Amino acid sequence: MRSRVQLVIFDCDGVLVDSEHISSRVLATMVRELGLEVSTQQALETFVGRSMAQCCEMIAARLGRALPAGFESEYQTRAHAALASEVTAVAGVESALDALQIPYCVASNGNLEKMTTTLRASGLLAHFEGRLFSIADVARGKPAPDLFLHAARAFGVAPSACAVIEDSPPGVVAGVAAAMTVFGYCAFTPAQRLIDAGAHCTFERMADLPRLLSGMV
């Protein structure tokens, strides 16, 4: 594959692993336990792509009070247990990774423990060992560009030579702000939401990704 793209940066949840419905279900349940009615679908639309710290701030603002001590750690415990037993790889992603002939990595607003849990449970960890970048690596998570820029620096690749694969508006915004080419994966997210956020193109089948990347000459 000859391409001006020298590095592919994948988001994790919803792009590599089919995890967002699971995590959103757990979060919605915990928010309802606090007395705020939130469905899994509403949690998906509101919180996906944001860091847990950002989610907690938004929930506290809606509640009008601080979250209980230990809310975040309890969420992490419940979510990790659910993900470890239920998560699967996104359809076609392993074949797409095998077809890539350029370096790739993963950069997620999730923490390293969560990424490791979901990638291991889905059978994808071997593809990314030593190439995982998390919210802990930067001062600001997505939608700030810091995480993507950090990954590019780690590989010694200019932002303009990076392709970002994202499925959430905050992630798309981050990729655009990093001056990278953003591919919006829209199997689970309405394509228009990703286009409105600035995605340069959208696609529904992960199997199509190698062909799309090879067209960037």
Instruction: Assess contact for 185 and 74: CB atoms under 8 A.
Output: no
- Supply the angle between the helices 169-177 and 146-155 in degrees, to the nearest 10: 50
Nearest to 68 by CA among 42, 43, 31: 31
In three-state secondary structure terms, 85 is: helix
Angle at Cα 173 formed by Cα 171 and Cα 174, nearest 5°? 65
Query: Which three-class secondary structure state does DSSP give residue 8?
Result: strand
Structure tokens at 105: 């990595």
Collapsing DSSP to helix, strand or coil, 89 comes out as strand
Of 177, 174, 172, 178, the closest CA to residue 200 belongs to: 172
Q: How far apart are CA 7 and CA 9, in angstroms?
A: 6
Structure tokens, 138:
């930067």
Judged by DSSP in three states, 91 sits in coil
Distance CA(37)–CA(166), nearest Å, equals 28
Question: Residues with catalytic annotation?
Answer: 11
